[in-house]
């Protein structure tokens, strides 16, 4: 069993690679434009907003992981987000990390697409 912050650490990277993949597959554009689009989707505010959509879709296990991540005591502070958004984003990233380490990539991508409104 990994700590929720460890799950969030790997989940952050896994989520970003999925976002970058989605963007590259949608359009062949300049890298700086891709980066701006990706940055807008991986920030804590966006992840926090996605939780409103995703939480009802979570399995019981995913809900527990989310709550553990959200409630974890982090020693870092949010740079450009409210504390609430930062904590909710940490919970979201913990779920992504859990699914990534579990090898359930389809579930991870399905949740991300649902959160982005691509269902």
Average pLDDT of the chain is 92
Name the domain count of the chain: 1
To the nearest 10 degrees (0 to 180), the angle between helices 31-42 and 4-26 is 140
Q: Is the pLDDT assigned to residue 56 strictly greater than 70?
A: yes
Active site residue 12: yes
Burial class (CB in 10 A: 0-12, 13-18, 19+), 33: exposed
**Span of 8-22, 28-42, 66-80, 86-100 with lowest mean pLDDT:** 66-80
Active-site pick, 12, 85, 104, 110: 12
Cβ proximity of 92 and 48 under 8 Å: yes
Q: Domain of residue 94: give its range.
A: 4-115
* CATH number of the domain where residue 95 is located: 1.10.1520.10
pLDDT tens string 106-119:
999 999 999 998 64
- Dist. CA 4–CA 92, nearest whole Å: 10
Q: What is the pLDDT of residue 118?
A: 64
pTM attached to this predicted model: 0.91
Q: Is the pLDDT assigned to residue 77 strictly greater than 50?
A: yes
Q: Is the pLDDT assigned to residue 2 strictly greater than 70?
A: yes
């Amino acid at each position: 069993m990994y700590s929720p912050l460890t799950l969030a650490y790997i989940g952050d990277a896994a989520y970003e690679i999925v976002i970058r993949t989605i963007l590259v597959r949608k359009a062949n554009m300049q890298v700086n434009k891709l980066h701006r689009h990706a940055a807008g989707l991986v920030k804590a505010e966006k992840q926090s907003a996605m939780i409103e959509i995703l939480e009802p879709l979570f399995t019981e296990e995913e809900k527990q992981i989310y709550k553990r991540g959200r409630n974890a005591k982090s020693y870092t502070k949010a740079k450009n987000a409210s504390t609430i958004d930062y904590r909710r984003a940490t919970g979201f990233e913990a779920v992504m990390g859990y699914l990534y380490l579990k090898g359930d990539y389809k579930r991870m991508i399905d949740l991300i697409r649902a959160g982005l409104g691509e269902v």
